[in-house]
Chain A
């Protein structure tokens, strides 16, 4: 395995639900990421946490709320989602050196369906 785990692997939720996605990395990396992968669209970077500090991404709707309590764990809190938010959500980690983005290690993803 890649050393990055994600739970749950599949999630079905209604538009009024609140749920959270969890990511854990066992690689000792100092940066973690959330990506959204929709059909026929490039992988979209949602959030970056470097040394547990979030790098702002103003293009992501506020119904997505990240949390990084320590360098090994990353959460994505979801509330009042829309059907178009259905996608594969991928977590990744890397050892960032300075301002260079090095190779990233991805988790298996959470397949989210919003009804």
Chain B
């Protein structure tokens, strides 16, 4: 069953603006990760936030995690055309079987208009 669900499904903004994407999930997690995928290529890991962390920064990226609401957000500041891609959240929701792996959402497609 789908664990992470990103919102919005698509987002189009002007270069220089900030982009915010949200992710909701259903079960308890060990960590939540964000990935980027350029069209038709492999995913690139952006940032990992553990269940006991609330906020994390990496360059122009800021991730928050609210375990009480089972949600996370990814903020990209001062967006650039090169940020155009699909962004996925993935949860590590180990349930005792050890076979869950990461569960990915459908992604948010971000378009940065020059």
Given A100-B30, A100-B92 in contact, is the A106-B42 Cβ separation under 8 Å? yes
Name the interface residues of B56-79: CB closer than 8 Å to any CB of A. Answer: none
Given A4-B42, A111-B40 in contact, is the A43-B88 Cβ separation under 8 Å? yes
Indicate if the CB atoms of A108 and B42 lie closer than 8 Å: yes
CB-contact partner of B30 in A45, A101, A111, under 8 A: A101
Task: Name the A residues within 8 Å of B88 (CB-CB).
Answer: 43
- A99, A100, A105: residue with the most chain B Cβ atoms closer than 10 Å: A99
Indicate if the CB atoms of B44 and A109 lie closer than 8 Å: no
Residues of A within 8 A of B (CB): 2, 4, 33, 40-43, 45, 48, 55-57, 88, 90, 92, 99-109, 111
- Taking A45-B103, A106-B44 as given, write out 18 further A-B residue pairs in contact, using a Cβ cutoff of 8 Å, ordered by the A residue number: A2-B44, A42-B103, A42-B107, A45-B102, A48-B99, A55-B98, A55-B99, A57-B99, A92-B43, A100-B92, A101-B100, A102-B31, A102-B48, A104-B45, A106-B42, A106-B43, A107-B42, A111-B40
The 10 closest A-B pairs by CB, nearest first: A106-B42, A43-B104, A101-B92, A103-B45, A55-B99, A106-B43, A45-B101, A108-B42, A42-B106, A100-B30
Residues of B within 8 A of A (CB): 2, 4, 30-31, 33, 35, 40-45, 48, 88, 90, 92, 94, 98-107
